[in-house]
Structure 1
């Protein structure tokens, strides 16, 4: 599998990663954040191919020895760690650090840290030392469902790549729901009139997060717009709404019940 096989909702993200690999301007650390519907490990391996493939630099060919070894998890300079039981522990990170200190057989060492948000605080603090002073040429890719669980110092030292939810909704459907909700809120419609509209988007965590993304995008467009519709939404109202959306996103990622979070959001924005 290479980038062109998995573009979908993340086409812009993949184009950005391709550009980095082609130009050689690769950061020492990346954080891929996405829910369970996104195959973050597959994307990380595609990125490794794009960086290391000599036949098709920046993309990966999926046919050469390097690409095949990466695909089958036996490339000598690619190291992957993942949680055992419920967490990634200090010893797991220490072992990875030891391997990264060794000179690569090829061009560079690459590490993929699966379940990065399950690292213990000790493990994160240990990893931080490597992120601050990475071995030359090393690329570390953290995979996470919830970056809120990572230390801010870890996140700040990574290039953050947020992956779109792989949704069952047809393209544009969620945007239509979000636009309708935004219009109802500015009109101060009571919550019970919005219940049927919101029923489907509160059924699970991933869909609720997608709704919040779409709603934030609606307000972002309104903030930039200058037509009659946009002028109905005062800037302070929009900024407050975006702040409430971001708070709601954090609550959902902390596993607070989605129905409660969305209802609370509607009440707060609608006044």
Structure 2
């Protein structure tokens, strides 16, 4: 696998959904349901506002194409399909606090498309390599999610689901862009004790969205929504307290104080 723009391959030819291990089958085989699960937790008025912002951006031909890598790692051996393997994890970063957009936020590795990229799969692999040092040759892209518009950054983002039985070492490559690179146990996201709802006071439209309070990061916003939706579609989600709503600043202050991350 290479993201270096080899014109012999199209983006669709890079997708290999058949490689997914049994425990990822329910997610990959139903990936078209993720956008619906995503929108289910967004209030109607916010969905209307987001759709309006997307339409305006497309009419003005503004915004940039982007992609993020949603990389699952874990065993490729047989495993009960309704259980998450203890060794399974999800690759995340925390963006540097000095960045203009989404500073200090937990995020999937990824970014804006370059002119030489042959579609979102190439963009996601290239950006992930630049941010985390991961070797794309060890990864198997499985599927792409629906293109989503992110108003704060103006990006039209395509999440790219991928799998690796062993992704190799990852680390911060450029401290001016990335503060943390981590392979977070997938069970940490499943654990109801780590799940809260986060809202931002002072925002033009105030609403709460799903978030994950972990030892190294607070995962919220777009990334939190995508992970929450994937848990629902995969059948991994456990009942959690959706009435536990925290202000963003309050939740961020709790990072590192949560002892419930492992399941």
Place the TM-score, normalised by the shorter chain, in its bin: under 0.3
Which one has a larger percent helix, Structure 1 or Structure 2? Answer: 1
User: TM-score, normalised on structure 2?
Assistant: 0.25
Which one has a larger percent strand, Structure 1 or Structure 2? Answer: 2
User: TM-score, normalised on structure 1?
Assistant: 0.25
